[in-house]
Structure 1
Amino acid sequence: MLNRRHFRVKVMQTIYAMHQHKSDSLDQQEKFLMQSIDNAQDLYLLVLSIFEELKNKELEYLDKVSKKHLATPQERNPNLKFVNNLFFQILEKHDEFHDKLEKRKIINWKLNDDTILFLLEEAKSSEIYKKYMAISTSSFEEDIQFIADLFIHVIAPNDKLYDYLEDYKITWVDDIPVINTLISKQIKALKSMESTIDLPRVFKDEDDKEFVRNLFRKTVLNEVEFAKEYENKTPNWDTERIAELDTIILKMAICELLKFPSVPIKVTLNEYLEIAKEYSTPKSSIFINGVLDNLVKEFQANDKIRKSGRGLL
């Protein structure tokens, strides 16, 4: 579900938090790191469960208005196209999905239905919904396209939803775009009623999990050593004023260059350059690119980089 750049960001944030809190408990911080990654699965389940909650809230509303004393003919016989959307039926029969919700105690929307009610109103007032409901019939493809459009254009970018998710768990902030992209792809991939949504694993395999653990531990345990590699190679930069996040990014990159033989040099350079652009100061990527470029040349000249496998240099 998460890629290695995402894992690198999580490691970077955990090391930064260690520095800020002056924590030296490696085991405790590693546990926090792995938990923050595992929490991405809860975010995925929570966002996906929005669809069933929207359907349930709309059914409750339709039932309530149909029983009004002076209900109109339209209220007594409402348009059920939305609640009968075939995507909801696919989710309804997804036993593994519901088992995971129960096992991981994902009950947020039961306790905070105001967010769901707001999303429902936003959905029903959208042109996407109005156009869909205006046509009495639809095919499987049209049902799925409607759900995909509703998610991409109404639900995923909703500020109220984003604020709720951010407030509920701060470690989700960087996960939200990844999860939204994954869910939109999964919806679009459904081709028939026999299709299902494969619930993703947080780690693709055990190698990914070991990559995270090793990157964190090897960087933290060798911070002093790695700092010495670049401290005399920044003549145009005041060492005391280098952003702390930049020093962490440099140490992590040096760690990969020297202690991860299976990770290609170009991959390491590109990944940390992009992370610097997104998370640090405007000039950070230029600074980090210059330092790492010089370090790689020096490491290669001194035969300090040992990469194994084809195409890793």
Structure 2
Amino acid sequence: MINRRHIRVKVMQSVYAMLQSHNDDIIREEKFLKHSILKMFDLYVLNLQLLVEVQKLSAKKIALSKKKILATEEELRPNTKFLNNRLINLIAESVSIEGYVELNNLRNWDEDSEYVKIILDELQKSDLYKKYLDNKEDSYKVDKIFVIDFFKEIVAPNEKLGEYYEDTMISWADDIPFVNTWVVKSLSKQKETSIFVLGNLYKDKDDEEFVSELFKKTVLKNAEYEKDITEKTPNWETDRIADIDMILIKMAMTEFLNFPSIPTRVTINEYIEVSKDYSTEKSSYFINGVLDKISKEFIQNKRIVKIGRGLL
């Protein structure tokens, strides 16, 4: 499921796009933001589905090899450990995944099957694959460890697959690392005795509402927040402050004033971390300094009201 930090990243990107385009259709932009987050689930499912499709292609290749007129002993009696992998079979049998694929018409691996072949070829050339086939232990534990390593070492870092995802949907470029981590967590948690069930995109209704409220309130208060920031940065011209830094500071201010259950220090730390990935080298120090000043003034003026002890 999507976490609060990645929600903040998605909102940041939407606020940036809206301000850069000078577009004031907040309803349309909010819909696009929510659509972008929803499409992350497609990427998550496609990665799981890819593991199954690679296994299917392997089975087809083995079946064709057996039909050769001069088939070798190895081709006639192939090692089928990969075809019998318990974790991949659980994913293949998942009604949850099958229903999602049908409902959302995810036909990527039918229409772009060359990427399935690319991953299978890389897998079969790997030491990981050879060691797995040679391992005499036949257990769910061994199967699961292999699938996780297969995804982490071969699927996730594959450049051609990454480029394909980015070409399919531009917003996936920033979603790939998060979704890869999500897939690994799902594989790691899966038990042999349980059916594979897709989780929820959001942890709860609060997280879903957090997306809309953070986006709308940041955009609507954009000019007002800019005045507050200008007052706290007298040695800086507004146009000298990086656009992303300004947006992150404004988003943090939105959280200060509108989300009473989020501690002020948590908000500051979250935006410092986001800035390390999306802004300049020194942005985290700048953002920390400005938000520290703003939060102290807001607390003193009672503009910040938090619920619960220790939330300031």
Which of the five TM-score ranges fits, normalised by the shorter chain? over 0.9
TM-score for both structures, normalised by structure 1 = 0.96
Asked whether the equivalents of residues 166 and 173 of structure 1 are also in contact (C-alpha less than 8 Å), the reply is: yes
Asked whether the equivalents of residues 81 and 136 of structure 1 are also in contact (C-alpha less than 8 Å), the reply is: no
Match of 1:199 in 2: 198
Letter in 2 for 1:278: D
For structure 1, which segment, 83-92 or 264-273, has the greater mean C-alpha deviation from structure 2 after superposition?
A: 83-92
Question: 1:169-190: per-residue Cα shift (whole Å, max 9, x none)?
Answer: 1111222222211221222223
Match of 1:39 in 2: 39
1:132-147 → structure 2 map (5 Å cutoff): 132-136=132-136, 138-147=138-147
Match of 1:17 in 2: 17
Q: How far does residue 253 in structure 1 lie from its aligned partner after superposition?
A: 0.9
Asked whether the equivalents of residues 48 and 91 of structure 2 are also in contact (C-alpha less than 8 Å), the reply is: no
TM-score for both structures, normalised by structure 2 = 0.96
Q: How far does residue 130 in structure 1 lie from its aligned partner after superposition?
A: 0.3
Match of 1:227 in 2: 226
1:72-221 → structure 2 map (5 Å cutoff): 72-136=72-136, 138-192=138-192, 194-221=193-220
Matched, 1:309 2:312: no
Name the count of aligned residue pairs.
312
The verdict on how the C-alpha distance between 1:135 and 1:211 changes in structure 2, with shifts beyond 3 A counting, is closer
Matched, 1:259 2:283: no
- Name the SS of the counterpart of 1:173 in structure 2: helix
Q: How far does residue 311 in structure 1 lie from its aligned partner after superposition?
A: 2.3
- Name the SS of the counterpart of 2:174 in structure 1: coil
Q: How far does residue 136 in structure 1 lie from its aligned partner after superposition?
A: 4.9
Q: How far does residue 44 in structure 1 lie from its aligned partner after superposition?
A: 0.8
Asked whether the equivalents of residues 268 and 288 of structure 2 are also in contact (C-alpha less than 8 Å), the reply is: yes
Q: How far does residue 102 in structure 1 lie from its aligned partner after superposition?
A: 1.0
Question: 1:98-136: per-residue Cα shift (whole Å, max 9, x none)?
Answer: 111111111101111111101001111111100111235
Cα distance in 1 for residues equivalent to 2:228 and 2:90 = 55
Match of 2:292 in 1: 293
For structure 1, which segment, 221-230 or 232-241, has the greater mean C-alpha deviation from structure 2 after superposition?
A: 232-241
Asked whether the equivalents of residues 141 and 191 of structure 1 are also in contact (C-alpha less than 8 Å), the reply is: no
Q: How far does residue 5 in structure 1 lie from its aligned partner after superposition?
A: 1.0
Match of 1:8 in 2: 8
Cα distance in 1 for residues equivalent to 2:26 and 2:40 = 22
Letter in 1 for 2:218: T
Q: How far does residue 259 in structure 1 lie from its aligned partner after superposition?
A: 2.0
Asked whether the equivalents of residues 87 and 144 of structure 1 are also in contact (C-alpha less than 8 Å), the reply is: yes
Cα distance in 1 for residues equivalent to 2:249 and 2:142 = 49
Q: CA RMSD in A?
A: 1.4
Cα distance in 2 for residues equivalent to 1:311 and 1:89 = 48
Match of 1:51 in 2: 51
Question: 1:241-287: per-residue Cα shift (whole Å, max 9, x none)?
Answer: 21111111111111111222221101111111111111011121111
Cα distance in 2 for residues equivalent to 1:145 and 1:135 = 12
Question: 1:134-154: per-residue Cα shift (whole Å, max 9, x none)?
Answer: 235511211111111111112
Cα distance in 1 for residues equivalent to 2:37 and 2:93 = 28
Asked whether the equivalents of residues 11 and 33 of structure 2 are also in contact (C-alpha less than 8 Å), the reply is: yes
Match of 2:235 in 1: 236
Q: Which runs of 5+ in 2 are unaligned?
A: none
Q: Which runs of 5+ in 1 are unaligned?
A: none
Cα distance in 2 for residues equivalent to 1:296 and 1:137 = 58
Asked whether the equivalents of residues 4 and 208 of structure 1 are also in contact (C-alpha less than 8 Å), the reply is: yes
Question: 1:74-120: per-residue Cα shift (whole Å, max 9, x none)?
Answer: 21222211111112321232111111111111110111111110100
Cα distance in 2 for residues equivalent to 1:191 and 1:217 = 41
The verdict on how the C-alpha distance between 1:225 and 1:130 changes in structure 2, with shifts beyond 3 A counting, is same
Cα distance in 2 for residues equivalent to 1:5 and 1:91 = 28
Letter in 2 for 1:57: L
For structure 1, which segment, 172-181 or 241-250, has the greater mean C-alpha deviation from structure 2 after superposition?
A: 172-181
Asked whether the equivalents of residues 156 and 180 of structure 1 are also in contact (C-alpha less than 8 Å), the reply is: yes
Cα distance in 2 for residues equivalent to 1:191 and 1:300 = 48
